[in-house]
Amino acid sequence: MPKRSSSVVGREFGNGVRAAIESTGLTQRRLAELLGWQEAKLSDMLSGKGGVTELEVATLLAYCRVPLVERDRLLALFREVGSFYVQIPEDGLPDQARTLINQEREANEITDWSMIVVPGLIQIREYIEAVTAKARTVPPEKIPATVEARVARAEILEYSRTFTFYLHEQALLLPVGGEEVWREQLAHLLRLSVRKYITIRIVPRSAGMHAGAAGDFRLMKFPKYPPVVYLESVKCGLFFDDKETVEVYENILKDLAAIALSEEESRAVINSILEGLQ
């Protein structure tokens, strides 16, 4: 793999190798010495920048005694090329994909657009349970674990990052989980909306057709890496980090910003719906 800028697939590969190294109890410096490498070479690999051959990767994984299944996964990531990366979890749960969770944890700015339901990061537990149960993509026995994983994602909602959520007014009007859950979800949005690092803006139904109608997506920005666009389907997640695709979605966000209500107006809409449920 030639040396290059860090990408989604490169960082996912690096995270897997890092976990393999940590399992040995060795420091990165000591492992580099044992392999006869410069420490900088190992550091570049872990940050997803490449600079190593496939034989060298296989040697490192063998030295770390990585299980066969994980070794094959990491070597497949190493060979991955192109401007996008498809993540298909073995259990078919795209929201639990480790790549998405890793990207969210590393991002310092996340912008989310959602048409039908409240964005996942700002859903309350009961709302998550209702969405998961009705989605028909999760076997009943896996629903509890799926809910816990999705609830845990909200831990990244803290002041050292910034979050912007655009959601269509119709997402607020969908009575997910019944009236009590619906009411508490709306109240949760109001509580979050006053935090300085969280922006919630509503695209009103009166806006009519708009650029965001093409589908939901998430744009993640990082301190050291290029931005990443994430799209989710029923059974897989799709990551784009090429400049052209990212610009397309940045332009969609500009269009949404132009038609969305202000933060104060958005709070008024949420509050109005909530008052109608009292």
What is the residue-wise DSSP string for 68-103?
Answer: HHHHHHHHHHHH--SSEEEE--TTS-GGG-HHHHHH
Identify the residue whose tokens are 């629903």: 143
Among 208, 207, 228, 203, smallest CA distance to 217 is for 228
**pLDDT at res. 135:** 75
Q: Which residues are paired to 38 by β-bridges?
A: none
For domain 8-81, give the CATH superfamily.
lambda repressor-like DNA-binding domains (1.10.260.40)
Cα distance between residue 205 and residue 216, in whole Å: 16
69: exposed, middle or buried (Cβ count in 10 Å: 0-12, 13-18, 19+): exposed
Binned at pLDDT 50, 70 and 90, residue 3 comes out as: very low
Among 154, 162, 157, 166, smallest CA distance to 113 is for 166
Instruction: Give residue-wise pLDDT tens across range 10-58.
Output: 777 888 888 888 888 888 888 888 888 888 888 877 776 667 787 788 8
Are 8-81 and 86-276 in the same CATH fold?
Answer: no
Cα separations (Å) of 197 from 165, 181, 200? Answer: 11, 25, 10
pTM of the predicted structure, to 2 decimals = 0.72
Residues 82, 3, 66, CA angle at the centre, nearest 5°?
85
Q: Which of 11-15, 66-70, 93-97, 229-233 has the lowest mean pLDDT?
A: 93-97
Among 246, 248, 188, smallest CA distance to 221 is for 246
* Contact yes or no for 9/98 (Cβ under 8 A): no
Instruction: Give residue-wise pLDDT tens across range 99-122.
Output: 777 788 889 999 999 999 999 999
Element housing 275 (H / E): helix 263-276
The conformation of residue 122, written as its DSSP 8-state character, comes to: G
Dihedral sign, Cα of residue 25, residue 29, residue 34, residue 38: positive
**Domain range list for the chain:** 8-81, 86-276
CATH number of 86-276: 3.30.870
Residue 140, number of CB atoms within 10 A of its CB? 7
Cα separations (Å) of 260 from 45, 110, 264? Answer: 42, 17, 11
**pLDDT at res. 2:** 42
Cα distance between residue 24 and residue 102, in whole Å: 22
Cα distance between residue 50 and residue 43, in whole Å: 9
Tokens encoding 204: 């009103």
